[in-house]
C-alpha cells in the first residue's frame, strides 16, 4: 500500500512542472457565419407556407 502511495506522489510531483506547457495551448478560432442566400420563396417561386408568427424566410449560411 505504501508503495502505491509513493508511486502516486512521485507521479504527481513529476507531472506538476509540465502544467504550464498545457496551459499555453491555443484556443480554437471563433465560429463565423456568412449569409450566402436569403429567400421567402420556395424553389419553384411560390411563397413559403405561413407560420403563426410572421412570414417565413430560408437562409443558407456558410459556417
Number of folded domains that form the chain: 1
The domain containing residue 46 runs over which residues?
2-62
The whole-number average pLDDT for the span 47-62 is 89
- Average pLDDT of the chain? 84
- β-strands 34-39, 58-62: how paired? antiparallel
| E strand spans, 1-63 | 34-39, 58-62
Q: Confidence band (pLDDT; 50, 70, 90) for 32?
A: very high
pLDDT at 15 over 90: no
50 alpha-carbon distance from chain centroid: 32
- What is the reported pLDDT for 33? 92
Looking at residue 8, its pLDDT comes to 87
Q: Is it the case that residue 24 has pLDDT exceeding 70? A: no
Amino acid at each position: 500500500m505504501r508503495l502505491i502511495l509513493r508511486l502516486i506522489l512521485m507521479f504527481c510531483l513529476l507531472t506538476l512542472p509540465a502544467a504550464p506547457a498545457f496551459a499555453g495551448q491555443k484556443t480554437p478560432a471563433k465560429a463565423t457565419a456568412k449569409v450566402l442566400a436569403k429567400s421567402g420563396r420556395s424553389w419553384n417561386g411560390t411563397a413559403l407556407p405561413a407560420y403563426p408568427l410572421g412570414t417565413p424566410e430560408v437562409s443558407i449560411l456558410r459556417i
